[in-house]
């Protein structure tokens, strides 16, 4: 029996191991989208790229905040955040726990912090981030614009191609600065 590490090595070398899941995924996606018109399906597929980008970006920021604050403020770092943010996240997590029919990740309190509050956390704890983030203005400008685009996407509204480019640029800026 082959170990995962060995399989990964073969896959990186271009050797297929096991069944190709991409064909199955594409067939399932085509089947699920089949009832909808061609233009709506094409728009949805375009927006999928942005959703994936923002999903990765937002969760990288959460990890970045968690790591920096854990290092600098210890395991109780969350309790040291601005009270408005702590209260909002705690209430949102409590609501999620009550909605037992809705399954998902509920242990990470930072996952319940609004996107807009992530930038506020970095600014409130600036001493922990100033060696990496260029300036509070730089951060605020990007986070404010990204939040508007994120909310547009979260409410299933189509963005114009110029907004796609802005998102790609801001996320690339962040990744370059943070070192991803």
Residue 142 belongs to a domain: yes
DSSP 104: S
Residue 155 belongs to a domain: yes
User: pLDDT tens for residues 114-137?
Assistant: 999 999 999 999 999 999 999 999
Residue 10 belongs to a domain: no
Please give the pLDDT value at position 69. 97
Residue 5 belongs to a domain: no
User: pLDDT tens for residues 67-98?
Assistant: 999 999 999 999 999 999 999 999 988 888 88
Residue 114 belongs to a domain: yes
Q: Which domain holds residue 72?
A: 19-178
Own/partner contacts of 118-126, CB < 8 Å, gap of 24 or more, are: 118/58, 118/61, 118/62, 118/65, 118/143, 119/143, 119/144, 120/82, 120/85, 121/65, 121/69, 121/81, 121/82, 121/85, 122/65, 124/81, 124/82, 125/68, 125/69, 125/72, 125/73, 125/80, 125/81
Domain count, the chain: 1
Residue 77 belongs to a domain: yes
Residue 152 belongs to a domain: yes
């Amino acid at each position: 029996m082959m170990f995962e590490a060995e399989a990964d090595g073969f896959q990186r070398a271009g050797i297929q191991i096991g069944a190709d899941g991409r064909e199955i995924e594409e067939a399932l996606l085509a089947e699920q989208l089949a009832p909808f018109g061609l233009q709506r399906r094409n728009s949805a597929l375009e927006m999928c790229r942005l959703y994936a980008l923002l999903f990765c970006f937002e969760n990288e920021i959460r990890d970045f905040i968690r790591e920096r604050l854990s290092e600098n403020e210890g395991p109780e770092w969350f309790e040291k955040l601005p009270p408005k943010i702590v209260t909002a996240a705690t209430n949102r997590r409590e609501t999620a726990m009550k909605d037992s029919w809705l399954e998902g990740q509920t242990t990470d309190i930072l996952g319940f912090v609004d996107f807009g509050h992530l930038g506020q956390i970095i600014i409130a704890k600036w001493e922990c981030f100033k060696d990496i983030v260029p300036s509070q203005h730089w951060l605020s400008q990007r986070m404010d614009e990204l939040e508007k685009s994120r909310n547009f996407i979260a409410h299933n509204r189509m963005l114009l191609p110029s907004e796609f480019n802005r998102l790609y640029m801001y996320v690339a800026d962040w990744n370059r600065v943070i070192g991803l």
